[in-house]
Amino acid sequence: MTDFQTKQIRELRMRGVGYRAIASVVGLSRDVVRNYCKSHSLYGYATEFTMNMKEQMQQGKACLCCGKDIKQPNTGRKRKFCSDKCRREWWAAHPDVVQKKETAFYKKACIYCGKPFTVYGNKNRKYCSYECYVHDRFWRAEEGRETYVSPARCEEVNYE
């Protein structure tokens, strides 16, 4: 059991969520959850009839982290967490999911100086830096591609 799981069990239990629903959210067996609650005096007011908490979370009705109700905005992206704090905690407890997300990072080589760089999201980026972009775009003819751009110089510019 991780710290995050025990915290989730505690918070969901305080909200009157039943053992089975908690178990499905934190990914433990119902017995483990029940034993934990008993040994920590977390009886609360169990409402076993609570709609499966996991379902509520998947539907965006309850915070993925603490199970609190979420008010969805009428427009824009669906919220998964009740607060920034919960979002940070949940992501910190799920590094495996973060790793999957990192496929959004692209490793590229600058077409001007050849230096490798990593770009997040925009896989169409061609240059490691704004400087390289300007050189390639506007000074190419004059430079005849012979001007040496030190890779160290590229590094100084953090162009997003």
Span interacting with Zn ion, options 15-23, 28-36, 94-102, 130-138, rule CB under 5 A: 130-138
What DSSP designation does 103 have? G
Q: CA 69, CA 74: separation in Å to the nearest integer? A: 15
Residue 12 engages Zn ion in binding (rule: CB under 5 A): no
- Here the tokens at position 4 are 């995050």
Residues within window 79-98 making contact with Zn ion, judged by CB under 5 A? 82, 86
Residue 26 engages Zn ion in binding (rule: CB under 5 A): no
Q: How many residues bind Zn ion (CB under 5 A)?
A: 13
Q: CA 32, CA 37: separation in Å to the nearest integer? A: 9
Span interacting with Zn ion, options 18-26, 28-36, 49-57, 126-134, rule CB under 5 A: 126-134
Q: Give the CA radius of gyration of the chain.
A: 25
Q: CA 90, CA 95: separation in Å to the nearest integer? A: 9
Q: What residues make contact with Zn ion under the rule CB under 5 A? A: 63, 65-66, 68, 82, 86, 110, 112-113, 115, 128, 132, 154
